Amino acid sequence: MINLHTKIGRGRHRICYQHPQDNTKCIKVLYNPEDGGKKEVRRELGYYRKRARQIEHSRAVPDFHGTVKTAHGEGYVFDLVRDYDGSVSKTLGHYIENNALSAREIDRLLYELRNDLIAHNIATMNLKEYNILYRKLSENDGYLVVIDNIGESEFVPVASLFSFLHRRKVDRIIGRFMQSLESKLVSEPG
């Protein structure tokens, strides 16, 4: 049984801890199972198993490494997203709140994310500023990583079967996300 100490973040259903025995991994533990948490975890883990090969080759989604027993219940082990300097990557929301990325940079990053999701046929249910990390490769370069809401909610996921439908779905999700950010972004002059 693993004792968890270093909390990294908290979502609607899970708390994320740094893995105490492997600093390249994190462990997510369900804390809100009744409010849809169990269903979300089941759906996401099923998707990870089904799409393991695509996810392994994508930089837009961290790899899943199985389950472990923790003092807080069953834990789900994922890659821990870190920046070039070794620090844990921060959310896109952090960079938006601090005006550390311009609207133009975010547009470019979202376009790259879109291309990665399409190229590897990976679905995400929706995007929020707090479920996307900005992984810095250097002081002035990086890319986006989706850390939550991976997968599909449809009973028959038709969009995953046809590339043109998958592309349209990803475009729709990215478009909605960009619209939700419009009022929060600082525009660059000219």
Q: What is the C-alpha separation between 36 and 20, in angstroms, rounded?
A: 28
Residue 57's pLDDT band (cuts 50, 70, 90): very high
Q: What is the pTM of this model?
A: 0.91
User: Is the predicted pLDDT of residue 161 greater than 80, yes or no?
Assistant: no
Amino acid 186: pLDDT: 57
Burial bucket for residue 42 (CB in 10 Å: 0-12, 13-18, 19+): exposed
- Residues of the chain with pLDDT > 70, as a percent, come to 93
Question: Which has more pLDDT, 12 or 98?
Answer: 98
Amino acid 163: pLDDT: 84
Q: What is the C-alpha separation between 37 and 53, in angstroms, rounded?
A: 25
Residue 190's pLDDT band (cuts 50, 70, 90): very low
Query: b/e map of 113-141 (b: 16 or more CB within 10 Å)?
Result: bbebbbebbbbbbebbbbbbbbbbeeeee
Region 4-18: mean pLDDT is: 92
User: Is the predicted pLDDT of residue 160 greater than 60, yes or no?
Assistant: yes
Question: Which has more pLDDT, 124 or 186?
Answer: 124
Burial bucket for residue 37 (CB in 10 Å: 0-12, 13-18, 19+): middle
| CA of residue 96 relative to chain centroid, distance | 16
Helix axes 163-181, 103-119, angle to 10 degrees: 160
